[in-house]
Amino acid sequence: MKDSRLIGTWKSDGRKTAKEIAARRDIPASKKVKLRHFFGKLELRYTESRCYARLGDYVSVNRYTVAAKDAWSAALVVLNPIAGKQIVHIHFEGDRYWITFGSGRIREFFRRVSQNRRELRKQIYNSSR
């Protein structure tokens, strides 16, 4: 199964994720400040079967398959060489998506990195084949 909504490049939305963390009442203020520094740096590029993650100079490549999808979300099975198989549930909101991580109590938001029309058409065409 494929999901063309994923194809392309996504960047962690540090500002929106920081707002999410700031609204939490169960996290001490000192930890909120430290947490906010982790977000806004990760870039993900999805192809039909791989996710390329870039964080600074570090790049990793993980294979994935779409296990299920609906109008609002997609469930991916990610083959991580270190952690093994993991299920990631992506929730779409227009040109953004969010995932939960850790204990599932914090959401990280991502925004689509704009592309030129030709690249976007090519990716959509290739994902429908």
Q: How far is CA 54 from CA 31, 61, 68, in A?
A: 25, 9, 25
Q: Spell out the residues 6+ positions from residue 109 whose beta carbon is closer than 8 angstroms to its own.
A: 12, 13, 16, 17, 20, 96, 97, 98
Place 124 in a pLDDT band, splitting at 50, 70 and 90: low
| pLDDT digits 0-9 by tens, 28-87 | 888 888 888 889 999 999 999 999 999 999 999 999 999 999 999 999 999 988 888 999
Coil, strand, or helix at residue 96?
strand
Amino acid, res. 100: T
Residue 40 or 127, more confident: 40
| pLDDT digits 0-9 by tens, 95-115 | 999 999 877 788 999 999 986
Q: What is the pLDDT of residue 64?
A: 97
* pTM for the structure as a whole: 0.82
